[in-house]
Amino acid sequence: MKVKDVMTPDAKACWITESLADAAKAMWENDCGVLPVIKDGRRVVGLITDRDICMATAMHERNPVSISVEAVMTGEVFAVAPDDDIHQALKTMEEHRVRRLPVVDSEGELKGILSLNDIVLKAKEPNGKKAPQLAYADVVKTYKAICAHTSPLASAATAAK
């Protein structure tokens, strides 16, 4: 199964020059919690989440209209291509502990977004001898890896040894 068989095509995005208020409005209107940040056509240069917006607004004690997406976005983007295998995408999510991946072409232009929600809706239970292309167990394994955040105390204890 390929990423293009599972992803949400025509993903909403925001321009790098927009404000946090613009990004929040787009998230509200499109019922999503993340937006790829684009520039130069539809080339993905970052991501911004609803949490990023809330934290930046609180930490800067400023109106979200006066804070740019560029100032807050995550610039490190983990992405997949439409023709990538879905299991490779799950591995990328596990390794980087992310729930969503922009789907980009060879030039880095946005083609869609792949979320755990998309994957869960396509997963199937094993039925008989033939395993499904995308099993519930694959999704649970990925989700467990994403959720397995280490606490600061555990990290400090490991570092002290």
| Blockwise average pLDDT, block size 10, the chain, 161 residues | 94 95 96 94 94 92 91 93 96 93 94 94 84 85 83 57 50
Contact partners, residue 5, CB within 8 Å, separation at least 6: 86, 122
- Provide the β-strand partners of residue 44: 38
Q: What is the dihedral of CA 148, 154, 159, 161, to 10 degrees?
A: -120
Task: For residue 23, give the 3-state DSSP assignment.
Answer: helix
Q: Which two tokens stand for residue 22?
A: 């613009």
Closest CA to 146 of 89, 99, 79: 99
pLDDT for 151: 64
**Phi, psi at 40, each rounded to 5°:** 50, 65
Cα–Cα distance between 57 and 54 in angstroms, integer?
Answer: 5
pLDDT for 149: 65
Residue 122 to residues 8, 79, 99, 114, 134, Cα–Cα distance (Å): 12, 20, 15, 12, 7
pLDDT digit string (tens) for 30-46? 999 999 999 998 899 99
pLDDT for 46: 95
pLDDT for 128: 78
Count other Cβ atoms within 10 Å, centred on residue 117: 11
pLDDT for 152: 64
Own/partner long-range contacts of 133-140 (Cβ < 8 Å, ≥24 apart): 133/1, 133/86, 134/1, 134/6, 134/86, 134/87, 138/87, 138/90, 139/90
